[in-house]
Structure 1
């Protein structure tokens, strides 16, 4: 049978199930990626699982999000993460070494491998011909412990590329074109696979940009073939020995197809406040800009920074504009400096920040109220920047640099007329400045066994969650609309994220972006009835951070009723024992109001047998039909109280049965 690249990756790692779209499959995982905003919980989960040593080929913990050290919290968490890596046998990437996704691509990515990461942009590694999937931290922890990853078999969506990008456009405009066409949930339960003659014109790092932001389409993952462009990238990283060709069979087919003629792509921009709100730059040109930020995992390559440097060389950024540059890896910063590009940026008025995610996650660089910020980042959800009522646009490096020069949104194609600026032709080094000095390798097993976890006062143990009740009668604490993001459920930023490993404290920020009274109200019912949240479509889009499931659960969340869920958050809810149910009739979402008391009975039997679940609105004398989309495995996991208690129970049962295996 002829396979496309995604099917080859899945088939070679399939340990259970069949490759039938919609059915549950289990995949063996080769690599894992964690970052510090989510990794602390992963390490606590490894401790809770009683892990002796990582069972994966490669697992890496990066420190790239929480780099600001306003007090001791972040520094203490970094000490904890390092000690956990030494204890459990993981690589540790020190603060300042680089953003996880480009750094992993440079140092550890290998064609043909599978990877899960506790960051929704993990699919960026698909640029190298890997199957990389963003999941919740609990699933990363279980993968590190040697468990398969379970998910619904996605459809494979083939995107055929032809032609070549014209001047003043780049890979960011390609993924923005996909978002313009399909919005933020157009690729839900699908893997995007790019193919066609246009691929030969896109470097591996160009592909990284496209694969990274497939997450904004709701895609399970994005894959590219491992071809000569991938070989060239690995050669430049002095890792050509890791190259394995991985191509689709000549007569491979896809569940659905799309085509983009690269030569017709124009500069695009995502207007506030959604990555799916994409328009041509010329439609919004002239709007004033107070801030331009270059960096993040969405535009992390040397080419992206060098292009901006070449465009501003010998010029000065606009008066009153904050021009911020966040290098994506220490290695790329070294190359920029060797090329003289760092000097060109600084001379043009750029503020050079430390290597890391920074403004992308709201860790500094928050814009002023009432001003526009242009960013080469993947997300512009409301408040994600650190400013509650922000106005953030997402764009390519070319469009960002044009705004830095003019002080307003400007189509970069107009720079020739405005400044006499021709499209720069870059000469990038053939060999990268490989630097592994800030990577700490795993300890030998005998040394690791002697390591004690270093826990500062800001690190708490995981909460204990009880099995799912058979009968739930609880008030509705919130009724929400469509496309609520995990940033709105549990905000990022410098105020909240330092408490990422202190669940009781972090819980105080839950839904603060939406309703500042939520926490006080639900605490009144936490130890009695708990509460319910009602939402529209695509509930929980965005970041994979499982805190957005844990803190509401800690505050007494029992059930979420929604029209539909984003994949990762849906999994995270189940992992932590929260029942996620979908309305059979989407109109029922609008019939429920905050404060209504809902009753669900016979849940354990209904979940196991697949019987219809009825929700009784005791306040309004109404009934609603709802359904779950959980697999048999997930039902048992949910009934046990979540993934960790279910695995512990299973492990305990296996040890009591002679000859049993995990």
Structure 2
């Protein structure tokens, strides 16, 4: 079904694969009559061409990218604009779209969510942006419909910023990277490796985009095959996929931890742009006649079966048939894995979902940037036509990804089919993807065509003894399960005549409701601040030495950003840095905030010129032990802060708050064996936190230990890779940390304490 190649692979004429081995040059010459140069063949990827056209440096190995457009939603844009304002923002230099699809219910926190929306509209007017009101479109669907363009690049402050199927390279990053673009700075990365995703064959009827995506994620996540690389979709199988199917596969590439994605384009993508009245934005994209890829994933689409990603990760994949055939063993295995994250104290069960030998689920959701597409919902409606989801626990909710899609579903009768079966139609909203809508009952199992199924991301609260879980599936199999009244069912088990109604896009909906400044800034507009919108607190520059206390130690194989800063109702406080920080690690380590704030007392006293030892008594003995060996260390040249250790933090969301919450609580570093994503590491750097790495193995420190890092400022300035550190006890125990590669700008940001300080004029 899916084959991973061990090394590089050449693609000839877009259709034939040649493995890069000792016979490759001769084989290619025989087939094409051409001598080849690997370095030139690497330039034949679609990705290389797009990156080159956006690179402002004179070195294609050290890219300095400027994007064409930016996009954010209402969990992230307030912090981004506040950071940019603090750095001297006068006008959005490129189109910047502010969508409202995360806090759009305004269900908790009083007025604060709608206050954020008013802030966003006023900023769109003041700085020359575009504002999409709540319920009109989820962030990525609006970008597909109105922003993406062939050969273009878009940066978004949401991890699922992926428009590669439309020929547009898009990346999801933390807010500070968008701030840099707003200040006409660059996105600096090394030239990424490019992995070919070679598609052949055709999907069987009833198999959908999510099935393909989950099959890929299950194959490449754990081994990091595409980690921080670009996935480039090529091969004859691409032509067999509709635009919507390609889009549905593409958006889920985020869950592989790749950097970005791009697809070859054709008449179907041209038609997509024509339907959306943007013919001029189409561009035909193909790899060169001889193209070299750093790796290759070969997929026979005809062998893809309906898939399910069991709790609690999109890579925990099986075919639905496998789960139904081995239900007890697979569900029991999920229960055992859950103990790693939740311990023994949470009463979590999946095996109780087996009823009369079949797996029963309590909820079905089709939603968001992955599930809410037109074809997904039309196919689901055809499966549900004449069906009855029953009057038991099972419920079904469907969220079209945009109001234009919703209107067309009403016009063609698809919405009526779903409602007649007992399903509920809702407006464009990302809530089910991050725990702000349709939270299941305690211990319930929800099947969702959405993006993630991390622990508690569906909205339950482990700290309150609640736990529910999500399995990811394609809309078609969710509809089949709904038609079977909640018993897990593959879409292949239901014979359906898919009507495939043509899509008609009505742009007047946006013309009537979306504010578009046409990039004209109105300096007379006053930015409107609600009472919850707060400025970032002052942050100090890096000191000569650092004394950090480990205040949380996490040994899970991977730690998600949702565990570092929970999603759900906490998102209402994301305009208030200090208010939101109170939730940091609350689902993973409830004691973290208190520990960090205790250490921060000492640092705040130090910054005021007062005695840290009076503010936090235990620091006195620690410093006495330090000065036995480092006599020049004192409270003038030694900063005090907190740090966490995690094996592999930062999987999942691009939300900068996973780092900024630690920073405003006095965090000065993370220590990890590795970082799950580039974007999380970048967030740490942009908030002035040191992204330390330590070799795998027994740690020289434990939770509660103090670590002294002498001459850390000098080490950053001298670009030292290895940083000497000491665990502080009666004796100092030496060990080494590393920092990995940093650009000169990144070093300067860390030295100055954060991106705001770096840009402040």
TM-score bracket, shorter-length normalisation: over 0.9
Secondary structure class of the residue paired with 1:61: strand
Task: Select which of 569, 573, 578 maps to 1:499.
Answer: 573
Question: What displacement does 1:215 show?
Answer: 1.0
Change (3 A) 1:81 1:314: same
Partner Cα distance (1:622, 1:300) in 2? 55
Secondary structure class of the residue paired with 1:231: helix
1:263-412 equivalence runs, <5 A: 263-285=302-324, 286-318=358-390, 319-388=392-461, 389-406=467-484, 407-412=486-491
1:30-45 equivalence runs, <5 A: 30-45=68-83
Is 1:608–1:632's contact at 8 Å kept on the other side of the alignment?
Answer: no
1:200-239 equivalence runs, <5 A: 200-239=239-278
Partner Cα distance (1:128, 1:631) in 2? 31
Partner Cα distance (2:541, 2:265) in 1? 45
Partner Cα distance (1:394, 1:44) in 2? 35
RMSD of aligned Cα (Å): 1.6
- Are residues 1:488 and 2:563 paired? yes
> Per-residue displacement from partner, 1:580-600 (whole Å, max 9, x unpaired)?
1111x2114x44321111111
Partner Cα distance (2:45, 2:590) in 1? 48
Partner Cα distance (1:159, 1:292) in 2? 30
Change (3 A) 1:247 1:276: same
1:501-650 equivalence runs, <5 A: 501-528=575-602, 529-537=640-648, 539-565=649-675, 566-583=677-694, 585-588=695-698, 590-611=699-720, 612-619=722-729, 622-629=733-740, 630-648=742-760
Is 1:290–1:321's contact at 8 Å kept on the other side of the alignment?
Answer: yes
Question: What displacement does 1:633 show?
Answer: 2.1
Partner Cα distance (1:626, 1:474) in 2? 13
> Per-residue displacement from partner, 1:495-546 (whole Å, max 9, x unpaired)?
x111110111111100001111211221111132221111102x11111111
Change (3 A) 1:205 1:16: same
1:17-56 equivalence runs, <5 A: 18-20=59-61, 24-56=62-94
Aligned to 2:283: 244
Secondary structure class of the residue paired with 1:644: helix
Partner Cα distance (1:288, 1:95) in 2? 34
> Per-residue displacement from partner, 1:619-662 (whole Å, max 9, x unpaired)?
485433221122222111111112222123xxx4xxxxxxxxxx
TM-score, normalised with respect to structure 1: 0.93
Q: Which moved more, 1:471-480 or 1:591-600?
A: 591-600
Is 1:138–1:643's contact at 8 Å kept on the other side of the alignment?
Answer: yes
Aligned to 1:4: 45
Q: Which moved more, 1:272-281 or 1:135-144?
A: 135-144
Secondary structure class of the residue paired with 2:371: coil
Max Rg structure? 2
Question: What displacement does 1:280 show?
Answer: 1.1
Secondary structure class of the residue paired with 1:393: strand
Aligned to 1:64: 101
Aligned to 2:231: 192
- Are residues 1:477 and 2:556 paired? no
Partner Cα distance (2:310, 2:444) in 1? 13
Aligned to 2:345: none
Partner Cα distance (1:443, 1:103) in 2? 16
Partner Cα distance (1:343, 1:137) in 2? 40
Question: What displacement does 1:405 show?
Answer: 2.1
Unaligned stretches of 5+ residues in structure 1:
416-421, 653-662
> Per-residue displacement from partner, 1:9-52 (whole Å, max 9, x unpaired)?
001111126333xxx42112111011111111112122112221
Partner Cα distance (1:444, 1:221) in 2? 27
Partner Cα distance (2:227, 2:502) in 1? 38
Q: Which moved more, 1:277-286 or 1:322-331?
A: 277-286
Partner Cα distance (2:468, 2:684) in 1? 28
Secondary structure class of the residue paired with 1:375: strand
Is 1:490–1:510's contact at 8 Å kept on the other side of the alignment?
Answer: yes
Question: What displacement does 1:444 show?
Answer: 6.8
Question: What displacement does 1:249 show?
Answer: 1.2
Is 2:367–2:400's contact at 8 Å kept on the other side of the alignment?
Answer: yes
Partner Cα distance (1:621, 1:170) in 2? 58
Q: How many pairs are equivalent?
A: 633
Partner Cα distance (1:344, 1:274) in 2? 32
> Per-residue displacement from partner, 1:455-491 (whole Å, max 9, x unpaired)?
0101001222111222111221011122101111111
Secondary structure class of the residue paired with 2:137: coil
Partner Cα distance (1:431, 1:405) in 2? 28
Aligned to 1:129: 167
Secondary structure class of the residue paired with 2:599: coil
Aligned to 2:493: 414
Partner Cα distance (1:280, 1:381) in 2? 19
Partner Cα distance (1:466, 1:641) in 2? 5
Question: What displacement does 1:151 show?
Answer: 2.1
Partner Cα distance (1:46, 1:84) in 2? 12
Partner Cα distance (1:279, 1:468) in 2? 48
Question: What displacement does 1:236 show?
Answer: 1.2
Secondary structure class of the residue paired with 1:279: strand
Partner Cα distance (2:419, 2:443) in 1? 27
Aligned to 1:426: 499
- Are residues 1:461 and 2:527 paired? no
TM-score, normalised with respect to structure 2: 0.81
Is 1:163–1:261's contact at 8 Å kept on the other side of the alignment?
Answer: yes
Partner Cα distance (1:361, 1:250) in 2? 43
Partner Cα distance (1:345, 1:430) in 2? 18
Question: What displacement does 1:549 show?
Answer: 0.8
Is 2:408–2:504's contact at 8 Å kept on the other side of the alignment?
Answer: no
Change (3 A) 1:520 1:17: farther
Change (3 A) 1:594 1:444: closer
Is 1:101–1:297's contact at 8 Å kept on the other side of the alignment?
Answer: yes
